[in-house]
Amino acid sequence: SSLARLTPTGGVHGNVNPSTSYNARMWRDKPLLKFAGVESYFRTGTEAVQILVNEANRRDGDKALYLEQFEAMMRSLTPVFDRAPRYAWLAKAFLEPERTIEFRVSFLDDTGSVRTHRGYRIQYSSTLGPYEGPLHFGTNVTAENLKSMALASNFSHALAGSRLGGAAGGANFDPSRSSDAEIQRFCQAHMG
């Protein structure tokens, strides 16, 4: 067939008949996840997604926004897992960001008092390249919000074909209630 001529060994996955090859069956004998002595296997893309979503729920059960985003992204990958099950093991890396950094940001306000806020940087994945993502300031900024944004940033970079990893950062600082000088001092403290 013309498909067999595309690769030296034939076929999309390197085998003329992937259903009878050892490599095609190998993933069926390997658990996708192993936790507390329980191994989770899958046969379809839907089952792989369910295993990944259940594990995300176990790890981050109190983060509804992040779980909703994670589940939507994994569900969109169901056909990919059906066609190429090995990608389910790659998707497993998206269960946790590479780094979650939480830090204190202290600066002097206009009255000379020290104000302290909480800053965050979620570095989700550097697989495609260096981290890149948005920076948010506001009273509603939390680690959960930024984790969701970093995951979305990672997928948007991949879909756009850019060679950048996903990240997001910010702080629970409200610039609308601060003077320009306070915003400048806060940003210098946040970046410094």
pLDDT confidence of residue 3: 40
Mean pLDDT computed over 66-85: 94
Tell me the percentage of the chain whose pLDDT exceeds 90: 75
| Residue 115 identity | R
Has residue 22 got a pLDDT over 70?
no
pTM given for the model:
0.80
Sign of CA dihedral 152, 158, 161, 166: positive
Exposure string for 25-44, b = 16+ CB within 10 A, e = fewer: eebeeeebbeeeeeebebee
Q: How confident is the model at residue 11 (pLDDT cuts 50, 70, 90)?
A: very low
CA 8 vs CA 5, 15, 16: distances in Å: 7, 9, 10
Q: What is the pLDDT of residues 106-151, one digit of tens each?
A: 999 999 999 999 999 999 999 899 999 999 999 999 999 999 999 9
- For residues 70 and 49, give the distance between their C-alpha atoms in angstroms, rounded to a whole number: 10
Mean pLDDT computed over 48-73: 95
| Residue 169 identity | G
Q: What is the pLDDT of residues 158-190, one digit of tens each?
A: 999 999 999 999 999 999 999 999 999 999 999
Closest CA to 95 of 122, 64, 57, 121: 57
Q: What is the pLDDT of residues 27-43, one digit of tens each?
A: 667 899 998 889 999 98
Could you tell me if 148 and 184 are in contact, meaning their C-beta atoms sit under 8 angstroms apart?
no
pLDDT confidence of residue 1: 43
